[in-house]
Chain A
């Protein structure tokens, strides 16, 4: 039940893009087609979960015992960057079908602030290991959900009569604002 609430919170109530503003760049950049959005979202879920599973032990067994917590930013970004490289090489060698569908999105993830953001959030909220991993998985799912919804809307917007000055990014941002408003309605739920 506890974990159920955690998942609902991460996916809906404090959705990582629409409420916490993390990962806004890929949210705008890769949301032009649903297929692209699905691939990007899948890659983010995958890397986000792995990143938390890796950075949690580092934080608790390395940074905290030696009292070098201030190195968190450097260490985490290096771990994420090398993790992305490793995952890419591993997938290419051993799971080619998955690489076909996710591979092209992996390099983009190093500079996706949602991944680093969630890794840091897990530490700041002092979650236990399992809780942290579940939280990352759910946050990734929230990212996928938001990305797929806006991509579907933008596909329709392409054929809609949008005023010229609003074409492209402005109308996408305003759509995101409306979606964010809708996600605010979940606030009453949970606690």
Chain B
């Protein structure tokens, strides 16, 4: 039980995606123009991630190591098609807003990253706990980012007006530049917070965000040569090889 809790809780702070472990940037930037979209995307990812970790973990002894990436992609793709059909049936407006990013969940590095780094090496229960934790962390982060951008760019959160009358919305925040700016500022704020926290508790500061590789190194050994400084800090659990 203790171990399950550990696997679950690491996704909520220590390896919180996408703020601590930069995985799945495209949906993070693209769909967080409002809190509601962020939440919807997060829930779709939780569904795919949990089932994909479950299936990968069940099949982990049968999947030949050489074609494992292809198998993971195939499993994820089947689940994404399921999500697409479910969303078309029950939440069609959300499906239309998220648009192309629903099918693109299949190349969300969070899913392949967890399959590769965790589910393919661990039994079923920890894998599911890991997926639920990571998924929940991702959902909360996306909702948070979406909420901030919606508040600044539109003056609302979840469609409810939150600001005073004379507030002038910064419409840039709900457009593409705002996504990059908001994410960059949040990452800097998290860096500042963990520096402060570790100074206060006299611990060694956690790994800097620079040490965190993006998913582009997934399943590709040559990347280790490419940006060696990234690869050295690769023990971040994202692809902890």
Contact at B177–A184, with CB atoms within 8 Å? yes
Q: Which residues of A contact B24 (CB under 8 A)?
A: 25
Cβ contacts B9-25/A at 8 Å (1 or 0 each): 00000000000001111
Is A173 at the interface (CB under 8 A from chain B)?
yes
One of A25, A32, A73, A117 near B25 (C-beta < 8 A) = A25
Q: In whole angstroms, what is the CA distance A80 to B212 when docked?
A: 27
Distance in angstroms from A59 CB to nearest chain B CB is 13
Contact at B81–A121, with CB atoms within 8 Å? no
A74-B77 in contact given A29-B213, A180-B177, A181-B172 (Cβ < 8 Å): yes
Contact at B185–A113, with CB atoms within 8 Å? no
Q: Which residues of A contact B227 (CB under 8 A)?
A: 29-30, 32, 36
Using a Cβ cutoff of 8 Å, how many contacts connect chains A and B?
170
Of B118-126, B130-138, B214-222, the one touching chain A:
B214-222
How many residues on chain A are close to B (CB under 8 Å)? Answer: 53
Contact at B226–A36, with CB atoms within 8 Å? yes
A116-B103 in contact given A28-B214, A29-B213, A169-B209 (Cβ < 8 Å): yes
Q: Is the interface of B mostly helix, strand, loop or mixed?
A: helix
Contact at A170–B30, with CB atoms within 8 Å? no
Of B36-44, B54-62, B106-114, B160-168, the one touching chain A:
B106-114
A25-B73 in contact given A168-B208, A171-B184, A180-B180 (Cβ < 8 Å): no
Contact at B219–A177, with CB atoms within 8 Å? no
Q: Which residues of A contact B28 (CB under 8 A)?
A: 24
Is A112 at the interface (CB under 8 A from chain B)?
yes
Q: In whole angstroms, what is the CA distance A104 to B28 when docked?
A: 27
One of B23, B25, B78 near A74 (C-beta < 8 A) = B78
Contact at B172–A78, with CB atoms within 8 Å? no
Is A48 at the interface (CB under 8 A from chain B)?
no
One of A21, A116, A121 near B176 (C-beta < 8 A) = A21
